[in-house]
């Protein structure tokens, strides 16, 4: 576990240096497991810092976060809400506990996922989407097995809330104890999930538990899950991007030269500023 700023006690479940190619288009996943913050007056989080070349997806399970960025985007998200930020051609943002949450204290639980952009989309204009809980469609699973919240992509014909660049599915999967579900997924896609809570038997073979990351072969048309207990998963599925991944800190590009350029652009203020 390490701290991002003074607000986010996270475990890096994977990153682009380790599994960047295997999990393409997903670059990084930081998981802040439930952590109790006392009430306080301190501002907690990370101040202005840049990103370029990918998208950051922040899923709040518990607690409340505030975001502001140099594209003019801002938003507050709490349990069940998601922030989808396209760093694209460069952005500066800050991520803090909301003033209210900081003052009252409480449990924080969240995920931040980085999704790569194709070379042609790395120059896309930076942007920001707040996806509130009410905007994220829910699909009930057959036989009362639970429900899938479609953050991005589609499930059973229901389109997700986020606007995305490459074919991708991000689902908040909630299963009832003792129930089974088949999740259809495109052949050839990268598929992985993080278990937030509970135990699930995967494809009748292995049990995944809270904190585990399951990684699947790309061939195949779906997965089968049997919930041993009530379970919650974040499922990530996407078309792999077959391009070089060169990352350094907050930038992920296709070459060393582009990384160097990103650092220069940031230092020259070309990624903008957050309004005072
Ligand atoms: Mn950031």
3-state secondary structure 229-267: CCEEEEEEEECCCCCCCEEECCEEECCHHHHHHHHHHHH
Residue with tokens 């299963």: 175
- pLDDT values of the chain reduced to their tens digit, one per residue, 276 residues: 999 999 999 999 999 999 999 999 999 999 999 999 999 999 999 999 999 999 999 999 999 999 999 999 999 999 999 999 999 999 999 999 999 999 999 999 999 999 999 999 999 999 999 999 999 999 999 999 999 999 999 999 999 999 999 999 999 999 999 999 999 999 999 999 999 999 999 999 999 999 999 999 999 999 999 999 999 999 999 999 999 999 999 999 999 999 999 999 999 999 999 987
Count of positions (residues) in the chain: 276
Residue with tokens 């350029």: 261
pLDDT at 275: 84
pLDDT at 213: 98
pLDDT at 276: 73
Burial of 243 (C-beta count, 10 Å sphere; 0-12/13-18/19+):
middle
Q: What pTM, to 2 d.p., does this model score?
A: 0.97
The sheet carrying 190-197 orders its strands as 138-140, 146-152, 168-175, 231-238, 190-197, 213-215
User: Measured in angstroms, how far is the CA atom of residue 67 from the centroid of ligand 1?
Assistant: 10
User: Measured in angstroms, how far is the CA atom of residue 159 from the centroid of ligand 1?
Assistant: 27
User: Measured in angstroms, how far is the CA atom of residue 130 from the centroid of ligand 1?
Assistant: 15
Where do runs of H (alpha helix) occur along 66-187?
Answer: 99-104
pLDDT at 50: 98
User: Measured in angstroms, how far is the CA atom of residue 272 from the centroid of ligand 1?
Assistant: 15
d(C-alpha 138, C-alpha 158), whole Å: 8
User: Measured in angstroms, how far is the CA atom of residue 85 from the centroid of ligand 1?
Assistant: 9
d(C-alpha 180, C-alpha 5), whole Å: 40
User: Measured in angstroms, how far is the CA atom of residue 254 from the centroid of ligand 1?
Assistant: 20
User: Measured in angstroms, how far is the CA atom of residue 202 from the centroid of ligand 1?
Assistant: 32
pLDDT at 168: 98
User: Measured in angstroms, how far is the CA atom of residue 134 from the centroid of ligand 1?
Assistant: 25
User: Measured in angstroms, how far is the CA atom of residue 93 from the centroid of ligand 1?
Assistant: 6
How many CB atoms sit inside 10 A of residue 99's CB? Answer: 13
- Report the run of H or E that residue 145 belongs to, with start and end: none
């Amino acid at each position: 576990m390490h701290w991002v700023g003074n607000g986010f006690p996270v475990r890096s479940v994977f990153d682009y240096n380790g599994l960047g190619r295997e999990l393409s288009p997903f670059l990084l996943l930081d998981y802040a497991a439930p952590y109790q913050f006392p009430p306080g007056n301190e501002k907690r989080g990370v101040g202005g810092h840049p990103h370029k070349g990918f998208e950051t997806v922040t899923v709040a399970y518990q607690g409340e976060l505030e975001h502001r960025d140099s594209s003019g985007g801002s938003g507050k998200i709490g349990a069940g809400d998601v922030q989808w930020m396209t760093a694209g051609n460069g952005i500066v943002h800050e991520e803090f506990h909301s003033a209210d949450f900081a003052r009252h204290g409480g449990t924080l639980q969240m995920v931040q996922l980085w999704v790569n952009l194709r070379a042609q989309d790395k120059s896309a204009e930076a942007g920001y989407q707040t996806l509130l809980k009410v905007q994220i469609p829910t699909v009930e699973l057959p036989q009362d097995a639970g429900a899938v919240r479609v953050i991005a992509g589609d499930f059973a014909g229901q389109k997700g809330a986020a606007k995305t660049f490459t074919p991708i599915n991000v689902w908040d999967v909630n299963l009832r104890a003792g129930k089974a579900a088949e999740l259809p997924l495109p052949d050839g896609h990268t598929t992985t999930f993080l278990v937030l809570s509970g135990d699930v038997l995967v494809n009748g073979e292995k049990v995944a538990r809270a904190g585990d990351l399951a990684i699947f072969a790309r061939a195949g048309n779906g997965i089968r899950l049997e919930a041993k207990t009530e379970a919650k998963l974040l499922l990530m599925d996407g078309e792999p991007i077959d391009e070089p991944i060169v990352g350094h800190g907050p930038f992920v590009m296709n070459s060393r030269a582009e990384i160097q350029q990103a650092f220069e652009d940031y230092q020259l203020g070309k990624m903008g500023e957050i309004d005072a």
